[in-house]
Amino acid sequence: MNSIKLFLEEHAEPKYAVFSASLLNDSIPVMGVRLPCLRKYARELIKNKSWYCLWEEECESVFELTLLKGLTFAEAPMTDVERWEYIDRYIPLITNWSLCDSVCVSLRFVRHQPEEAWNRLRRYWSSEHEFAQRFGIVMLLDHFLTEAYKDRTLAVLAWIRPAGYYAEMAVAWALSVAFVSFPEQVYEILQNGDLQKNVLQMTLRKILESRRVSPLWKERVRVLRNSTVF
């Protein structure tokens, strides 16, 4: 563990720490090590099998150390059952959007057995804990916005009742990304009143800000926004 802490201290950037902390909106201490550096170091820890100490030894509540826990178990060789056990241990440690999103994108193992993953993710969608719920939503965004799962994924996104701001934003983010590939289906969700008003407002804004949405669709979304009472 001492060598890990030393690495983080050597690669910490105080100015970046201030900037990063301002984005996270969290009380967790931030050292200021950039994400690409952490990802590269996580792979080194996996390669030399020294990542276990992050879980086996008492660890300070520091953003970079917590994120290393997630980045390493996400890609280290292990069975799916073991990885789900680590997921269950990691989720209570998530206190900001980056600790969630940076790990979700690396959990590509779910694509090999998507139905099992889908069933395991169900409990997070109905969680009363904001970041547990965000985890379940971002996993849909990263791994289930596919032709095979689009109907079920969009149905879940329309059904979820977010447990807090960061869960709300995750739903809006997922729907805005889905809109690029499945505009007709997402537009129907936006029209039919299933979404909470603040989630709808966030989603419309993100779609209009997207560079991947055509001018024609943006105009339709703009008309919908202007005709909606928030």
Q: pLDDT exceeding 90 applies to what percent of the chain?
A: 94
Position 230 confidence tier, pLDDT thresholds 50, 70, 90: low
Does residue 66 have a pLDDT over 70? yes
Residue 112 to residue 201: CA distance in whole angstroms: 35
pTM: 0.95
Render the burial of 61-72: b for 16+ CB within 10 Å, e for the rest.
ebbbbbbbbbbb
Of the CA atoms within 13 Å of residue 135, those in its CB half-sphere come to 30
How are the residues of the chain apportioned to helix, strand and coil, as percentages rounded to the nearest 5?
70, 0, 30
Higher per-residue confidence, 206 vs 227: 206
Q: What is the pLDDT of residues 94-141, one digit of tens each?
A: 999 999 999 999 999 999 999 999 999 999 999 999 999 999 999 999
Q: Among 52-66, 79-93, 144-158, 174-188, name the one with the lowest average pLDDT.
A: 52-66
Other residues' Cβ atoms within 10 Å of the Cβ of residue 178: 23
Domain residue spans in the chain? 1-106, 130-230
Please say whether the beta carbons of 72 and 51 come within 8 A: yes
pLDDT (0 to 100) of residue 194: 83
Q: Among 148-157, 176-185, 191-200, name the one with the lowest average pLDDT.
A: 191-200
CA 160 from centroid of its chain's CA atoms: 16
Residue 202 to residue 157: CA distance in whole angstroms: 14
